[in-house]
Structure 1
Amino acid sequence: MGTWDIGHFDNDTAADFGGDLDDAPSGKREALLRDALTVVTGTGREEYLDSDEAVVAVAAAALVAAQCPGGAPVTTPYGPDEPLPPLAPELRGLAVSALDRVVGEESELPELWGDSGEGEQWTAGIAELREVLARAAGV
């Protein structure tokens, strides 16, 4: 994974996902977000989660959180350029579950961030994202 910073879209795979969202018709964008989150939540907790799936789920969660009260807008040039339609509220809880899976024991992404020396900062960013989503989802 080519990574240049700790932002939710600051890696090749998440940036490509942003491009995929722009390429999709407006009516299909929510389904792409749902799929990205479901791929991660659909894996068993004992199955090892690949970092590519995890970074896409984090990017999708960031886009869902951006539409929540208190959510930070996604302003990076690596995210989608096209605005997303209003997203279904049930995506918030799904995004919380996906983030919980991403930071779990059987996930490659926390290991990679831990090895980078920026693991604490990355984990804090994920925790902030999760907090916004959980509050909005009432979880």
Structure 2
Amino acid sequence: MGTWDVGPFDNDTAADFCNSLDDAPPEQREGIVRAALGTTVATIGHLDADIADEAVAAAALVAAQCPGGDPADPVYGPEEPLPDLTALRDLAVRALDRVLGGQSELRELWAESDGGPWQESVARLRRVLSAVPASGVRS
């Protein structure tokens, strides 16, 4: 796994995930993001780092459409437009909780180095996704 920084798109797996979104027909893109998040949430036991990296990238794409969210990476994020993903906010939060929880290879790998900046990057995504929208109704 090639990783060059702590952001959600700063690794080969996330870049490949975004490329797969670009290659997919527009009507399938939401399903691909949902599947990446859902696979992470549904994984029992050890969570592989590649699955977790895809989930973090998918969560970042959802967060990019939320108030306070950062735009997707202009180099490694998807180039093609994405549908409204805000209905996936709760699923994205659950996926990030799984990535940051026990039995997560990605969390373990970051813990072996100075993982504080990475954990803060993921925690920021979680805060954006968890925020109650201005309408007062959570997506």
1:37 is matched with which residue? Answer: 37
Deviates more, 1:63-72 or 1:128-137: 128-137
Structure 1-normalised TM-score?
A: 0.92
Would you say how many aligned residue pairs link Structure 1 and Structure 2?
Answer: 135
Letter in 2 for 1:36: A
- Root mean square deviation of aligned Cα: 1.4
1:75 is matched with which residue? Answer: 73
Hey, what's the Cα distance between the residues in 1 that align with 2:16 and 2:132?
Answer: 27
**Are the aligned partners of 1:68 and 1:136 in contact in 2 as well (CA < 8 Å)?**
no
Hey, what's the Cα distance between the residues in 1 that align with 2:67 and 2:39?
Answer: 26
Structure 2-normalised TM-score?
A: 0.92
1:85 is matched with which residue? Answer: 83
Counterpart secondary structure, 1:100: helix
Hey, what's the Cα distance between the residues in 2 that align with 1:100 and 1:2?
Answer: 23
Letter in 2 for 1:74: A
**Are the aligned partners of 1:3 and 1:12 in contact in 2 as well (CA < 8 Å)?**
yes
- Please point out which of 104, 107, 111 is paired with 2:108: 111
Give 5+ residue unaligned stretches, structure 2: none
Residues 121 and 92 of structure 1: CA distance in aligned 2, closer, same or farther (over 3 Å): same
Identity level (%): 59
Letter in 1 for 2:126: R
Structure 1 consecutive aligned stretches of length 4 or more whose deviation exceeds 3 Å: 136-139
**Are the aligned partners of 2:47 and 2:99 in contact in 1 as well (CA < 8 Å)?**
yes
